[in-house]
Structure 1
Amino acid sequence: MVREMACRKCKFVTIGKVCAICKSTDLTPDWSGAVLIVDPINSVIAKSLGITEKGKYALKVT
């Protein structure tokens, strides 16, 4: 089974070894909570979290 990892910089959740949003390799399997952003331009949640790209994001990254 593939393990999802969260980027420590932008909190994007990925199954790869590099973050697709910020290109960081600082990923961790220790994260909790998730939010799916479909329309970052019109989303109040995305604006409050500072998210500009659509995708799955962790709410808490340790």
Structure 2
Amino acid sequence: MASNRLACHDCHRIVEPDEEMCPYCSSTSLTEDWAGYVVITHPEESEIAEKMEVSEPGEYALKVR
């Protein structure tokens, strides 16, 4: 994982470093200060997705500071 990718404070999605707005939730609160990486492919079957309140497949940061 490229450490320069950003994470959204609101939805925890991982986005490319050139993004100024999260393409998933439209938040402008993006940060390089995140830790942990999870790919959720079937959120309806995932305990992690349930705990993170994720309903869409994608790449997520576990902790966003």
After TM superposition, is the score higher than 0.5?
Answer: yes
Larger helix proportion of the pair: 2
Aligned-residue identity in percent = 41
Spell out structure 1 runs of 4+ moving beyond 3 A: none
Count how many residue pairs are aligned between Structure 1 and Structure 2.
62
Amino acid in structure 1 at the alignment position of 2:27: S
TM-score when normalising by structure 1: 0.86
- Aligned-residue offset at 1:27: 0.2
List per-residue Cα deviations over 1:21-56 (Å, max 9, x = no partner): 211111001101111100111112101110111111
User: Which ranges in structure 2 are unaligned for 5 or more consecutive residues?
Assistant: none
The equivalent residue for 1:8 is 9
Distance 2:51 2:33 in 1: 23
User: Which ranges in structure 1 are unaligned for 5 or more consecutive residues?
Assistant: none
